[in-house]
Amino acid sequence: MGSRVEILNDGGYRSDGRRQYELRDILIDLTPQGSADGSAQVSHGLTTVLVNVFGPREPRLRSQSLHDRANINVEVLIAPFSTSEHRKRNRGDKRILEFAASIRETFEPVILTNLYPRSQIDIYVQILQQDGGVLQTCINATTLALVTAGIAVKDYVAAVTCGVHSTSPLLDLTNIEESDLPHLTLATIPRTGKVTLVTMETRLHIDRFEAMMRLAKDAGAVVAQEMKVAVKTRTEDLVKSMGGATEGAKLTEEE
Amino acid sequence: MDLDEDEDSTSRITSPGESIISSQAFMRGHGTYLEKDQVVSSVAGTIERVNRLVSVKAIRARKGIFCVTYIPEVGDLVVGRVTEVAARRWKVHINARQDSVLMLGSVNLPGGIQRRKLESDELQMRTFFEEGDLLVAEIQQIMGDGGSSLHTRSLKYGKLRNGMLEIVPSALVRRLKSHFFSLPCGVDIILGLNGFIWIMKHVKDHEQLGEQGFDAEAVYSNQNDDIDQATRGSIARTANIIRVLSKAFVPLTDAILADAYEWFMEQEGSSDVKSILNDEMADQLVAAVTARA
């Protein structure tokens, strides 16, 4: 065990100097990319994901067209340079397909798909750097890309990874921690407290589960707040650059 | 956990999931949904109100009004590309959420003959429009699901040839009295409201609209006429000007394009059609055109 990294030392610090419940730096970039209708690049520490959203547009295949709602298509691309071992995965890889499916299922109940019948929303996820918490970063970036694309969504979805070291839960795991600890990824809608995704690929003692869920839910609210601030700032900037052409209406109940 | 508690619900800017106001007193419009007696925003943008109707206008990407998809309205003139030949109809890409439908019954057949409801007609559909063909048409109808249908029942509408296509953001094309016009340089332009712009060789007046010399058979022809070098130059120059103006987000009208063309011809190096694309020249053009407007 001597060569192993100490996950949580006696002083209560983790291998990268964070405390138990501390999240990594969140970087959000909402610059438009090429011809995409909406895009967002999100970093949680060293994990970086770029998401481009296209649509709603005509479905590529007739069979994908749904008469009463939009079809959501998620494609995931893992850059070979995103990990230390440069391995090229092709798009047909079963793990990647499952990963894409879990992103799609996270957003299906959140996007108001019934507003866009017979059309398709394409979500292209590019994983540029991996250092743990890849799924959480993908989900957070997808939320932001959808919002910048102007696609109607019910609310922000925020995801956080939570692991447990003996009895102490840890938030936002790095690659080292992820490979050593049982962990789960939780995507929530913080305002309503609804959970849209929980995944776990490791074994975990049932007694630890509840505490981890609670913690991840609270952390989700913090992440969502961060995302809201980023969107608000961008919207304000855009409105300002339009010279306040759209006068927002003041609303009061008395009127 | 309610994050919105500290948010001022009367602020102008809102983002998804923020409740705007009670649905008891107000009706919900676009960009909102109802949840437990509350009108809740579903997009990031500004709150707009008309009487008791509350809606949220999504604010998107570059310059705020860069609207990538076009929203069709009845009577709009659009330029589109045929993507599919289906049963008694063509599917036309018009840059909207869904491809538009052009029914066999809503096109003019060559020579203006009445359509006979025969199978042979349907089998000949590819002789009128094939996949990849460009056409100009008018929106005839909007379907309940947001789709639209087109018609080409005018001699001004139909298959496009003798020119090139330029695509700009649809917000740059405003509704004008006419979307067909000729520039003094011998180029005709069709400004599609969906942001597709067709630039072509000038059609002489006497060849238009079924007068003498009007070739009915040529309506669905796939063959370009002879275009001389000077006209090709004019077409390319106009296309490049449109590219420059759309990059600078200048709304396009016939007057602006004519002005821009005139300005370009006064410059040195206008014989090189590409020269307008260099940044310095492009900036000067934009400055000159916006100053005159």
One digit per residue, the tens of pLDDT, for chain B of length 293 reads 333 433 343 458 899 999 888 889 899 988 899 988 899 999 998 898 888 899 888 876 543 344 457 888 899 999 999 999 988 899 999 988 888 999 988 888 776 666 666 677 788 888 889 999 999 999 999 988 878 999 988 888 889 988 999 988 887 888 888 899 898 888 999 999 988 999 999 887 655 555 555 565 677 888 888 888 989 999 999 999 999 988 887 888 888 899 899 888 888 877 888 888 888 888 898 888 888 76
pLDDT at site B66: 44
Residue ranges of A 108-167 with Cβ closer than 8 A to chain B: 112, 116-119, 147-156
Q: How many domains does chain A have?
A: 1
Report CB contact under 8 Å: B61, A156: no
pLDDT at site A249: 44
pLDDT at site B223: 85
Report CB contact under 8 Å: B15, A231: yes
Report CB contact under 8 Å: A251, B20: yes
Could you give the CA distance from residue B274 to residue B233 in angstroms, rounded to a whole number? 10
In the block, tokens 């919207």 appear at A235
Report CB contact under 8 Å: B61, A38: yes
- Please give the ipTM for the structure prediction: 0.83
Element containing residue B76 per DSSP (H, E) = none
Report CB contact under 8 Å: B99, A58: yes
Please check whether residue A186 touches B, CB under 8 A.
no
Q: Is residue A172 part of a domain?
A: yes
Share of chain A above pLDDT 90, in %: 60
Q: Is residue A226 part of a domain?
A: yes
Q: What is the DSSP secondary structure assignment for residue B81, as one 8-state letter? A: E
Report CB contact under 8 Å: B1, A190: yes
- The two structure tokens encoding residue A236: 């304000």
Q: Is residue A17 part of a domain?
A: no
B167 HSE (CA, 13 A, CB side): 11
Report CB contact under 8 Å: A248, B69: no
Helices B229-247 and B279-292: crossing angle, nearest 10°?
80
pLDDT at site B185: 86
**Contact criterion met (CB below 8 Å) for B82 and B137:** no
pLDDT at site B208: 57
pLDDT at site A120: 92
Could you give the CA distance from residue A120 to residue A122 in angstroms, rounded to a whole number? 6
CA A93, A99, A104, A105 torsion-angle sign: positive
CA B204, B206, B211, B215 torsion-angle sign: negative
Nearest to A136 by CA among A159, A155, A156: A159
Given CATH 3.40.50.1950, say whether it is the number of domain B3-58: no
Q: Is residue A108 part of a domain?
A: yes
Please check whether residue A45 touches B, CB under 8 A.
no
The CA distance from B263 to the nearest CA of chain A, in Å, is 28
Which amino acid type is present at position B181? F
Q: What is the DSSP secondary structure assignment for residue A100, as one 8-state letter? A: H
pLDDT at site A131: 92
Q: Which residue of B has its CA nearest to A153?
A: B42
pLDDT at site A37: 85
Full DSSP string of B93-159: E-SBSS-EEEEEEEEPPGGGPPPP--HHHHHTHHHH--TT-EEEEEEEEE-TTS-EEEEE-STT-EE
Q: Which residue of A has its CA nearest to B23?
A: A253
pLDDT at site B164: 93
Q: Is residue A10 part of a domain?
A: no
Q: Which domain holds residue A201?
A: 26-241
User: How long, in residues, is chain A?
Assistant: 255
- The two structure tokens encoding residue B4: 């919105």
pLDDT digits (tens, 9 = 90+) for A168-185: 999 999 999 999 999 999
Q: Is residue A14 part of a domain?
A: no
pLDDT at site A1: 45
Nearest to A148 by CA among A137, A156, A136, A160: A156
Please check whether residue A196 touches B, CB under 8 A.
no
pLDDT at site A146: 94
Chain A residue numbers with beta carbons less than 8 Å from the beta carbon of B94 are: none
Q: What is the pLDDT along chain A (255 residues), one digit of tens a residue?
A: 445 778 888 888 998 899 999 999 999 999 888 778 889 999 999 999 999 999 788 888 878 888 888 999 999 999 989 988 887 777 678 889 999 999 999 999 999 999 888 899 999 999 999 999 999 999 999 999 999 988 999 999 999 999 999 889 999 999 999 999 999 999 999 989 999 999 998 999 999 999 999 999 999 999 999 999 999 998 888 777 665 444 444 444 433
Chain A residue numbers with beta carbons less than 8 Å from the beta carbon of B54 are: 249, 251
Domain CATH for A161: 3.30.230.70
